[in-house]
Amino acid sequence: MALPTETVYGLAGDATSASAIARIFAAKGRPTNHPVIVHLPDQSHVDRWAVDTPQWATDLMSQVWPGPLTVIVPRAPSVLDAVTGGQSTVGLRVPAHPLTLEVLGQLDTGVAAPSANRYGRVSPTTAVHVVAELSAHLDPERDLVLDGGPCPVGVESTIIGAWDDVPRLLRPGAVTTQRVASITGRQPVTTSSGVRAPGTTATHYSPSANVVAIERDDLEATLEDLPGDKKVGVIALADVDTSAQPVTRLSSPGDQEEYAQTLYAALHQADISGMEIVIAVLPPPGGLGAAIRDRLRRAAAAERAVQ
Ligand code: TXA
Ligand code: MG
C-alpha cells in the first residue's frame, strides 16, 4: 500500500511481516540489505521497537513528532533483520499526515515504508507519481495507493542517528540541525559512514535527464557553455530570470519551502517533457536549503556516475 506523508509518499507494509517487507523491496528493486524506516502512530510505540533510547532523543521525538524527522535508535531484539538490514539500530518516525496517522492508529503496529519510488530514483510527492513510477511493479488486486494530495514538505525526513551522546545528521531535511541543537542542547555532527543508507549514498534521487547543480553565480557561464542541440530545463528561485534564454523553466519557487515542495514534481516533469539537461540553481543553504542542496547534488552525481 502506498501512503502519503508530509515529506514524500511511502510504500508501506506491516513491519512485523517479513513477507510484506520482501514485497516492498521487490517493488522498489532495492537491495534487501538496506534498512527501512518504521512509521508509528505515536511516540508511545517507541519502546516496542527500541531499547536504550538516549534521553536527548526522547526529547527530540516529543518536540518534533508528528513531523519530518526519523530517529535511528538501538533496536529491540524482536525487530526483524529485514527492517534493520541486519544492523543493531532501527529507524523510527511518526509522520505528520492525517490520513496516514489514521491508518497507523487503526493498525496499531509499526509500518515499514521506504519512499515509493524505484531504487535510486526521484521520490514521489503525489499519488499520480506513485502510480507512474510503480504501477508495473504493484499488484492491482492487492495494492492500494492512498491519495492524500501533494506532500506539503516535498523532501524526505531529516535522519538523526541517536545511538550515543551525539546527534548524528545522516540526511538533512525540514528539521534543521539548528532546531535539533536547540531542543537537545547538543550540536549534531554530520555522519556518513558506518551505516548502509541508500538515500545517503553519493548518487541518488535521480531523474533520466542529466542534472547539473550549480550556484547562482555560475548560471550565466553554464548557459553560455550549453550544447545548442539539447532540450534544457531550469529549476531556480523565482528571482533568477532565465526568460531571455533558450531554456524551459520547470519551476520558479518563491522561497525555500516552495522549492522543496515542488522539486521532485519538477524533476518528474523534466522526464515527462523529454528534457536532456536540467540546470538546477541551488538555493542558499539556510533552513530547507541544506536538504534541497543535498538532494540536487546527489541527483547531479548520479548523472556523472553513469556517463
Ligand atoms: O521522509 C521519509 O523519511 C520517507 C517517508 C516515506 O517517511 N521515507 C524515506 O524512506 O525516505 P527511504 O527508505 O527512502 O529512506 C530512508 C533512509 C534510508 O537511507 C535508510 O537506509 C535509512 O533511512 N535508514 C533506515 N533505517 C536505518 C538504520 N537503522 N540505520 C541507518 N540508516 C537507516
Ligand atoms: Mg528513498
Nearest CA among 233, 222, 231, 162 for reference residue 191: 162
Q: Is the pLDDT of residue 197 over 70?
A: no
- Whose C-alpha lies nearest to ligand 1, atom 10? 114
Q: In percent, how much of the chain has pLDDT > 70?
A: 94
Q: Which ligand is in closest contact with the Cα of 34?
A: 1
Q: Categorize the per-residue pLDDT at 306 as very low, low, confident or very high, splitting at 50, 70 and 90.
A: very low
Q: Categorize the per-residue pLDDT at 287 as very low, low, confident or very high, splitting at 50, 70 and 90.
A: very high
Q: In angstroms, rounded to a whole number, what is the distance separating the alpha carbons of residues 72 and 283?
A: 28
Q: Is the pLDDT of residue 93 over 80?
A: yes
Q: HSE of 25 in the Cβ direction (CA atoms, 13 Å)?
A: 20
Q: Which pLDDT score is estimated for 216?
A: 97
Best mutation site among 1, 70, 92, 298 for ligand 1, i.e. most ligand atoms within 8 A of its Cβ?
70
Task: Kindly state the average pLDDT of the residues 44-55.
Answer: 98
Q: Categorize the per-residue pLDDT at 128 as very low, low, confident or very high, splitting at 50, 70 and 90.
A: very high
Contact 36, 89 (CB under 8 A): no
- Whose C-alpha lies nearest to ligand 1, atom 22? 197
Task: Kindly state the average pLDDT of the residues 260-279.
Answer: 95
**Is residue 198 within 6 Å of ligand 1 at its C-beta?**
yes
Q: Is the pLDDT of residue 2 over 50?
A: yes
For residues 142-180, one letter each, b for 16 or more C-beta atoms within 10 angstroms of the residue's C-beta and e for the rest, the string is ebebbebebbbbbbbbbbbbbbeeebbbbbbbbbbbebb
Task: Kindly state the average pLDDT of the residues 165-190.
Answer: 97
Q: In angstroms, rounded to a whole number, what is the distance separating the alpha carbons of residues 9 and 141?
A: 20
C-alpha cell at 58: 526522547
**Is residue 34 within 6 Å of ligand 1 at its C-beta?**
yes
Q: Which pLDDT score is estimated for 307?
A: 39
Q: In percent, how much of the chain has pLDDT > 90?
A: 87
C-alpha cell at 233: 530545463
Q: Which pLDDT score is estimated for 8?
A: 98
**Is residue 84 within 6 Å of ligand 1 at its C-beta?**
yes
**Is residue 95 within 6 Å of ligand 1 at its C-beta?**
yes
Nearest CA among 124, 102, 107, 127 for reference residue 115: 124
Contact 74, 50 (CB under 8 A): yes
Q: Categorize the per-residue pLDDT at 227 as very low, low, confident or very high, splitting at 50, 70 and 90.
A: confident
Contact 113, 124 (CB under 8 A): no
**Which has the higher per-residue pLDDT, 100 or 307?**
100
Lowest mean pLDDT among 37-41, 58-62, 199-203, 293-297: 199-203
